[in-house]
Structure 1
Amino acid sequence: MKFTLTNWTEYQPGLLRRGSLTLWITAEALSCWQAPKRTTRGGEPRYSDLAIETALTLGLVFGLRLRQTEGFVPSVLKLIGLDLAVPDHTTLSRRASKPRAPKKLQVFHLPETGSVHVVVDSTGLQIYGASQWLEEKYATKSRRGWRKLHLALDADSGDIIAQVMTDQDAGDASQAEPLLDQIDMPIHQFTADGAYDGNPTYEAVAGHSPHAAVVIPPRANAIERPDAGPSRQRDLHIAAISADGRLECQVATGYGKRSLVEAAIGRYKSIIGRRLRVRSFSAQQTEVAPGRAVLNRMLECARPNSVR
């Protein structure tokens, strides 16, 4: 199977723009750089969340540590001609560790139909440390684990529209509802692999968009359950697999779209990295949040249109 690009003349300049060191700050961002005054008791913060997120995002894109970020951001602002106070590395570390609710991401390409085809999957991210080297050299069992990053992708545009990070013991099906809570638009199809097979996923999709189609391959030993409620679609998949075969059922339901989220995971690990830099769990959640926004922005610069 071969594919070709139909928009190479637009795609090539877009790839070049991904590496362009062109930064600008809007007037709204300048007005929000300083933190607003508190209305309750306590110390007055100097920097807003926007200033912290901007510094962390620039450090993530250019692969800088916090001290290097503290030196990089003022130099960039000086080239732009702006005299803004920049948070130091201790402030960045402390504010990054502050727990916060997941933010809804900006979607650059809104669907014309008013609904989205959501594709979800998860991957593992290594925690900072040399656990693998120690295990190989000294044959010891390391206590250091890894984190699991769950992504929800818009199959039509390729934008990451939701993200959740958990520890390694969290099941994939249990994170379907937190992912859907970050999506405001209705869903016309929810596609995932067999790890999301279960009542929690079907109930979460039915609670978000009752008329959405759920495409999850059931287990090989799955059996039909009459009056299964939201899981009734699962019984239809089991019957279709028994009649036509698993491959024919996947082609008919569009299950192949799931490869798009696997490609997004590959982009995350190749561009952002396979390993988390910070050590606390709350700071790790803050670390992966700019990464998804960066990938959406890069995809907006160059979006391929490939056909078979």
Structure 2
Amino acid sequence: MPFKHHSARRHHIEKMTFGVTNWPEYEAGLRRRGSLTLWLTPDALSGWQAPRRKTRGGQHRYSDLAIETALTLGFVFGLRLRHAEGLLASVLQLMGLGLAVPDHTTLSRRARTWQSPRKRPDRQISTDGPLHVLVDSTGLQVYGAGRWLEEKHGVRSRRGWRKLHMALDADSGEIIAHTLTDQGTGDVSQVEPLLDQIGDPIGQFTADGAYDGKPIYDAVIDHSAAAAIVIPPRTNAVEAIDDRPPGQRDQHIAAISRAGRMKWQVSNGYGKRSLIETAIGRYKSIIGRRLRARSLSGQQTEVAIGCAVLNRMLDCARPKSVRRRTATA
């Protein structure tokens, strides 16, 4: 990693500073994030009640839109289900709307079956261009005592943690794909599910060394044949010995052998991978490091709405920062 290079002498290097060029707009957007202003369109009002189904079984009272609205308010303001129920009821009362509010038991039960739109709508390729996709994963704790109880009292606990796999648009900072798995699922196995959620062509795919391997290259090329793949090879990686033209991985190995890993990172823009680490930190600081739901399906709904909340906050306020030039003598 770049920050580990010559770590013993890095204190002599002047720290980079950045300035926000759109501070008035960014500050106003930050205030809008805490606004309680709520709009309900006529379509939302008419779709608040669940449509009557013709199959056998019980009839839902609330639509998925109503469940999503209550859960979203809870995530935005860090509320439990009972508190989110009370907040939504008070807001609808202030708006003069006689809509029934789903109770916390209904929210907990319906969260296990709620489905989010998995695929991102296609953009105008002529104006925006292909995506630069960043991929990484992180761990989220499961609600409960868990590991501490096991270490302190020797009580065997089945609670562990979950893995959040995330794909980020490097240009806009938007979370464009995500999956949630158990702690034993490998990162490589979730690349294809993430790519399946991306409808736009990929111009560059960047990930860390944990994703190095032929299956990842094949999956990205199958999605977008012209994609540039930037994954640092392992330190003991060697070029393939065959008569075929060298692939992207072989070209990376050869470039690192010639110029070194640091120059390879700079020339390929590998430093942008820090943006997804920032997005993961934003998720944990705003949404939380711990999952509240008890079932995996409920936790997947929790993560889906959490990512949608972060994207909505990013639309409200997005800073434009530039590096400040330091004066030289």
Q: TM-score range by the shorter chain?
A: over 0.9
Q: In structure 2, do the counterparts of structure 1 residues 231 and 13 end up closer, same or farther at CA, with 3 Å as the change threshold?
A: farther
**Residues 190 and 214, structure 1, Cα contact 8 Å, conserved in 2:** yes
1:287 aligns with 2:288: no
1:223 aligns with 2:238: yes
1:264 aligns with 2:286: no
1:27 aligns with 2:42: yes
**Secondary structure of the residue that 1:112 maps to in structure 2?**
helix
Q: In structure 2, do the counterparts of structure 1 residues 300 and 129 end up closer, same or farther at CA, with 3 Å as the change threshold?
A: same
One of 186, 193, 197 as aligned partner of 1:171? 186
Match of 2:112 in 1: 97
**Secondary structure of the residue that 2:82 maps to in structure 1?**
helix
Q: In structure 2, do the counterparts of structure 1 residues 19 and 100 end up closer, same or farther at CA, with 3 Å as the change threshold?
A: closer
Partner letter of residue 75 of structure 1? S
Partner letter of residue 188 of structure 1? G
One of 142, 167, 181 as aligned partner of 2:196? 181
Q: Distance in 1 between matches of 2:38 and 2:124?
A: 22
- What is the correspondence of 1:76-95 to structure 2 with a 5 Å cutoff? 76-95=91-110
Match of 1:162 in 2: 177
1:58 aligns with 2:58: no
Q: How far 1:290 moved relative to its partner?
A: 0.7
Higher deviation after alignment, 55-64 or 266-275: 55-64
One of 193, 214, 222 as aligned partner of 1:199? 214
Structure having the higher Rg: 2
User: What is the percentage of aligned positions where both structures have the same residue?
Assistant: 69
Q: Unpaired runs of 5+ in structure 1?
A: none
Q: Distance in 1 between matches of 2:72 and 2:302?
A: 9
Q: Distance in 1 between matches of 2:67 and 2:137?
A: 27
Aligned residues: 308
Q: How far 1:142 moved relative to its partner?
A: 4.0
Q: Distance in 2 between matches of 1:105 and 1:228?
A: 40
Q: Distance in 1 between matches of 2:42 and 2:115?
A: 26
Match of 2:158 in 1: 143
**Secondary structure of the residue that 2:237 maps to in structure 1?**
coil
Q: In structure 2, do the counterparts of structure 1 residues 108 and 16 end up closer, same or farther at CA, with 3 Å as the change threshold?
A: farther
Q: In structure 2, do the counterparts of structure 1 residues 111 and 248 end up closer, same or farther at CA, with 3 Å as the change threshold?
A: farther
Q: Distance in 1 between matches of 2:164 and 2:243?
A: 30
Q: How far 1:174 moved relative to its partner?
A: 1.0
Q: How far 1:104 moved relative to its partner?
A: 3.1
**Residues 202 and 230, structure 1, Cα contact 8 Å, conserved in 2:** no
Partner letter of residue 24 of structure 2? T
Q: Distance in 1 between matches of 2:176 and 2:150?
A: 37
Cα root mean square deviation, aligned:
2.3
Higher deviation after alignment, 102-111 or 129-138: 102-111
Q: Distance in 1 between matches of 2:313 and 2:122?
A: 13
Higher deviation after alignment, 38-47 or 212-221: 38-47
**Residues 146 and 168, structure 1, Cα contact 8 Å, conserved in 2:** yes
Q: How far 1:288 moved relative to its partner?
A: 0.8
**Residues 268 and 295, structure 1, Cα contact 8 Å, conserved in 2:** yes
Q: In structure 2, do the counterparts of structure 1 residues 3 and 41 end up closer, same or farther at CA, with 3 Å as the change threshold?
A: same
Q: Distance in 2 between matches of 1:53 and 1:63?
A: 15
Higher deviation after alignment, 146-155 or 101-110: 101-110
- What is the correspondence of 1:246-261 to structure 2 with a 5 Å cutoff? 246-261=261-276
Q: Distance in 1 between matches of 2:32 and 2:287?
A: 17
Match of 2:318 in 1: 303
Q: In structure 2, do the counterparts of structure 1 residues 38 and 200 end up closer, same or farther at CA, with 3 Å as the change threshold?
A: same
Partner letter of residue 263 of structure 2? E
**Secondary structure of the residue that 1:67 maps to in structure 2?**
helix
Match of 1:237 in 2: 252
Deviations 1:183-222 (A, max 9, x none): 1110000000111112221121111101100100011111
Q: How far 1:159 moved relative to its partner?
A: 0.6
